[in-house]
Each structure stands twice: as structure tokens, then as C-alpha cells.
A and B are shown apart, each in its own frame.
Chain A
Amino acid sequence: MEHPFLPILLVFVMAALFTGAFLGLSAILGPKKPNPSKLSVYECGLEPVGDARERFSVKFFLIAMLFILFDIEVVFLIPWAVTYKGFIAEGMGLFMLIEMGIFMVILAIGLLYVWRKGALDWR
């Protein structure tokens, strides 16, 4: 009797073998003729300016975090909306609507707080 996860293991092994083999082959067999423009970071586009490890304004992180927060809210709404018909069938429609309403109100309070505290101002 074979293990149910055996095919997955096989996929892993195959993937590793193939990628390794082709990368190795091209490294060994491929012709190498470097010149300055080939060695630059991008072959086409803008020349890089300065170091990539630059200090960002903390505002970027703040906005990013807030984005993730409210993004997840939307993500949570989708499965809820999809299964809502099922809730109605069970007679739980109103209840679930109220529950989601509470959830939204809590988030709205959070948004209000963030906004009034000036976290959304870019200054």
C-alpha cells in the first residue's frame, strides 16, 4: 500500500531534478561573452540610482499596514457573501447579517480612529 502523499513527494523530486538539470546544463554548455551593458542590473530601462537599502518614511509602513488590515476585511466579506444564501436557507439570514454588521461597525470605528488621529495624513 502506497502512502497518499507519495505523488506529491514525486512532484517535488521531479521539479528539483528538472530545474537543477536545466540550469546546470545551460551553465556548462551555454556560451559566455560578457560586456558592460550585459552585466548591468537591467539590460533595458533606467540606470539604478543609489542604494536599494534606503530608509523609507515610516508613513509607507503605516499605510501598508492599514491597507492589509482593510484588505482582509474585504477578503472576509467574499466568502461570507458566497455562503449567505445557505444561511438564509437555514433561517439564520438576519442573524448573520447583524453579525457582519457588528464586524463592519467595529472596523468603521477603527477607521474613524485612524483617520481622526491623523494616520492617513501624508505630512
Chain B
Amino acid sequence: MIDLQYLISLFHAGLPIWILTGTGLVCLLTDGLWPKKGGTAVFIVGFLGMAVALFFAFRQWLSGETIAQDLLVSDKATRFFVILVIFIGLLHLLNSASYFRLLGKVSAGGSPAGRLGPAGRLGPAGDMVTLTLFAVVGMIFLFASDHLIVNFIGLETMSLAVYVMVGFNRRDVRSGEAAMKYYVMGSVASALLLYGIVLLYGAVGEFRLSEFHKVAIFPDTAFLPRIAVVLMLGGFFFKLALVPFHFWVPDVYEGAPTPVTGFMATGVKVAAFALFIRVLTALNYLPTAVVSQVLQICVILTLLVGNLAAIVQDNVKRMLAYSSISHAGYLLLGLSVGYQSGKFDPSVSSAVLFYLAGYSCMTLGAFAVLSVMVDEKREATQFADLTGLGYSRPVLAAVFSLFMISLLGVPPTVGFAAKYGIFSFAVKNGFIGLAVLGMITTVISAYYYLRPLVMMYFCGAPEKVKGGEIPFPLMLSLVFCAVAVILLGIWPLPYIDMAQKAATAFK
């Protein structure tokens, strides 16, 4: 018989997901019915749908009780991440709403772009909205289940949507190149992850992370879970853009349309970290003590390579790509200090959760600013394009400076509070070396984070004003990010409290 009670509870557990999926379908339908000029309608529908989903996600967070249903997990941690990724999705909608219009308007010059080219349209691109919605749904499935196959399906849903988003700027060769690279490399990474999952199943006969503590490992097959875990780590490290699995990052981040880069640097990373923490917690029941060393090696490599390579970039997007690599390094540092005698203690992940929230705000803000930097049909994101921006666009330059110093980690911004949390955990758990490395690399990062400020304020007046007017949706997202960066920096307590509540869900 149909168990109605069960269906209703399943409906409640995954309410934001159903809303987002439904909205995505409505968007698809709207876009299909009015393919030529439905863009604005799609944008409004998508935005409202996300806002409603966000509302219900908040209600779930406040309601407190945990409902685990079948393949869905709905604990505090999941809800925290649901809220975070929906926020990221919303901000991405705002960032991208006018990006193609800016690109199109500036390039118009009489001839509209190709028939299918989204760049030629004057409204927001409807496909982008739909893809964002599906990407967010994928992200939620990526971490809102403890069944590895469901996680994998979520990963693929997210990745496919993001591949397309990367190649969205069809008239720009670099965008297509980035999409191709990301797709090829990403499939390999997905394959690694899937292979790892399957091997793990072969070793322990279990897909569900929450059941791992029940399985018995035979000593003669103990190497199998290790191989499986390494393969899975490979897949994770790829999505998290950690050295040495980071080579795709600069090329793809540079080529992708600027708002999409912001979305990748935040949404994808947040979702992948969420699952990563879940998996690390479950791995305590497997003979995989060596994982902590792998993580530490990766942290060291990532911090060094990410921060050093960012120095010599001459494109701000590429610089931010390396910056996002190094921030992933700081996040991984936060996780790797959770290891005590080979066992992962998830309570340290509260600092990582807070860092993820803060990092998302400042990164999305920085890319929102860059989304305006358009000049003569193409993105103007070279360092040289920033010259004198402090005089020609004072507000824009000011908020960009704010995001830069926050990424650098200067008080009173959220960057400082977040880094402080991670480093203090590192020191408390006895990882002095890693903490010192983190601080040294932070100092190195001052060089490339302050360079835009130098360009904007101390390099004379610009030859011509770069970038268009700040459109209204983008202004909203800029204000939100700037306020969040300062608010979370000055008064972080309630949010740290949220992160701590969420982290208790990992046991």
C-alpha cells in the first residue's frame, strides 16, 4: 500500500529541493514557450522560486527537528549548506542577470549577435537561470544524502549544468575552450570518484555512509578501501581545486563568463566541501589512517602553489582563480587539523563552515564587481583595466577594495574572523607548523590582493572609463555582499553559533 505518512514526511524533508526543481521546470517551460523574449519572465520566476525555497530552508533550520527520510538527510548541517548554496544561487542570478546585456549592449553597434547567441539578447538569459536552478538542485543532492550513489548523481547534475554555464559565452573562443577543458577534466574526475565509490562498495558492501560503522573489514582486503578512498579523494580534490589537481582551474576560471566563475568558485566548492566533511566523518570506521597525512601534504602544496602562482598573473580573474585555490587550501587546513591520532573530529568543521560562508560572500562580491568590467565587446579584467578606477568609479572601486582586503584577511572584515577561527583551531590542536605556513602564505597573498588597490588608486587617471553602469540587480548583490562581509566581520557571533550548531550534526 502507499504509505501517505511517509510521502508527506519525504515532502517536508526535501521541501526546498522540490521547490527548486519545480521552479526549474517552470523556467524551462517558460523559456520554451517564449524562446525569443521570455528572458525577463524566466529570471523573475527563477528568482522568486529561489527566494521561496530559501524561506522554507530557513524555516527548516529554525524548526530544529531532524527528519531523515530514506535517501535524504535533513540534519542541521545539511540545512546550513542548503541555505548557503541557495544564497549563492540567488546572488549568482543577480550577478548574471545583466552580464550578457552589458556585453551585448556594449557590443551592439547595429548588428545583433547570432540567432541563438545569448549574448545578443537584451534581457537576462533565460537558460542561465534554468541552469543555475538545476545546478543548485544538484549541489543539494550532492550533500543532502548519505547514499554515495545519490551523491554522485547530484555531482553529475551540478557538473553538467556548470559545464554548460562555463561555455555560455558562445561568441568568445576562450569560453568554449574553458568549457571543453572543464568537461574533459571533470569527466575524468567524476570517473575517479565513481570508481572509488564502486571499489568501496566492493570492499565493504555498503553505499550508505551512516552504515559504515556496522561493516566488518577483513584484514586481507584492507588495501581495497584505501585505494577506493584515494580515488575518491582524487575526485574531491579535483572539484575542490586543490593542488595537484588544480591545473584546470586558472584556464577555466579565466575563460568562463565572470559571474559563472564566481558561481563555480563558491557554489561548487561549498557543495563539494559539504560532502567531503561527511565522507571524512564516515571514513573513521575504515582502516584509512593515512588520509590525514595526504590532507596535510595537499594543504602545504595548495597554500604554496596557490599563493605563489597568483603573484605573477596579469588578469584579475586568473589571479582570483589562484586565490580561490589558496582559500580551498585554508579550508582544507581547517579540516586536516581535525585529525587526532588518525581519527577525524568533525567538531572542528564549525570553523570551516563559517569560513565557507564568509568566503562565499567576499568571492561573489569580487566577481560581481568584475562582472561590470566590460569594454568593447569583451571582458576587461586585466590588471591594467583597473587603472584609475578609484577616480572614475569610486563606489565600485571602494567595494572591490573591501572584498580584496577581506580576502586577504584584514580586520574588521569577515576574512579575518574566518582565518582567525581556522588558525586558532590549528594552534589549539597542535598543528603549529601548518598554522605558521598559513600565516606566511597570507602575508604573501597581500602582494596580489593589494595590487588591484594600487592600480585603482595610485596609478593615475584612466585613459577611458571601463565598464558599464552598475545595473540594479548587480547593485543589490554588491550591497548584500559588502554588508555581509562587514557584518560577519564585526559581529560574527551569531553566525559562528549557526556554524557550530550545524557542525554538531557531523558525528
Contact = CB atoms under 8 A, between A and B. Distances in A.
Answer whether A and B are interacting partners.
yes
Interface string B1-15: 110000000000000
A95 B28 contact: no
B32 A112 contact: yes
Contacts of A118: 35, 115-116
Contacts of A75: none
Contacts of A112: 29, 32-33
A10 to B, nearest CB: 23
Contacts of A109: 25, 28-29, 32
**How many of chain B's residues touch chain A, expressed as a range?**
10 to 19
A15 to B, nearest CB: 25
A3 interface: no
B75 interface: no
Interface residues of A, number: 14
A117 B287 CA distance: 52
Contacts of B31: 113, 117
B74 to A, nearest CB: 21
B2 A113 contact: no
Interface in A84-117: 90-92, 94-95, 106, 109-110, 112-113, 115-117
A116 B25 contact: no
B40 to A, nearest CB: 17
A109 B1 CA distance: 30
A118 B2 CA distance: 41
Contacts of A115: 32
A117 B36 CA distance: 9
A92 B2 contact: yes
Contacts of B2: 91-92, 94-95
**Chief secondary structure at chain A's binding surface:** helix
Contacts of A117: 31-32, 35, 116
Contacts of B25: 106, 109
A1 to B, nearest CB: 16
Interface string B72-116: 000000000000000000000000000000000000000000011
Contacts of B116: 117-118
A116 B1 contact: no
B166 to A, nearest CB: 17
A73 to B, nearest CB: 16
Contacts of B28: 109-110, 113
A109 B26 CA distance: 9
Contacts of B33: 112, 116
Contacts of A92: 1-2
A115 B32 CA distance: 8
A94 B25 CA distance: 23
A109 B134 CA distance: 14
A112 B33 CA distance: 8
Contact of B32 (A91, A94, A106, A113): A113
Nearest to B7: A95
A14 B358 CA distance: 62
Contacts of B35: 116-118
Interface in B15-64: 25, 28-29, 31-33, 35
B297 to A, nearest CB: 37
B151 to A, nearest CB: 21
A94 B7 CA distance: 14
Nearest to B4: A95
A72 to B, nearest CB: 14
A122 to B, nearest CB: 14
Nearest to A110: B28
A110 B35 CA distance: 13
B179 to A, nearest CB: 14
A90 B31 CA distance: 40
B29 A113 contact: yes
Contacts of B29: 109, 112-113
A96 B32 CA distance: 28
Interface string B158-169: 000000000000
A94, A110, A113, A116 pick with most chain B CB within 10 angstroms = A113
B335 to A, nearest CB: 37
Contacts of A110: 28
A91 B33 CA distance: 38
Contacts of A116: 32-33, 35
Contacts of A94: 2
Task: Give the top 9 A-B pairs by smallest Cβ distance, nearest first.
Answer: A113-B32, A116-B32, A91-B1, A112-B32, A95-B2, A116-B35, A113-B28, A117-B35, A109-B29
15 contacts: A92-B1, A92-B2, A109-B28, A109-B32, A110-B28, A112-B29, A112-B33, A113-B29, A113-B32, A115-B32, A116-B32, A116-B33, A117-B31, A117-B32, A118-B35
Given A94-B2, A109-B28, A116-B32, 19 more contacts: A91-B2, A92-B1, A106-B25, A109-B25, A109-B29, A110-B28, A112-B33, A113-B28, A113-B29, A113-B31, A113-B32, A115-B32, A116-B33, A116-B35, A117-B35, A117-B116, A118-B35, A118-B115, A118-B116
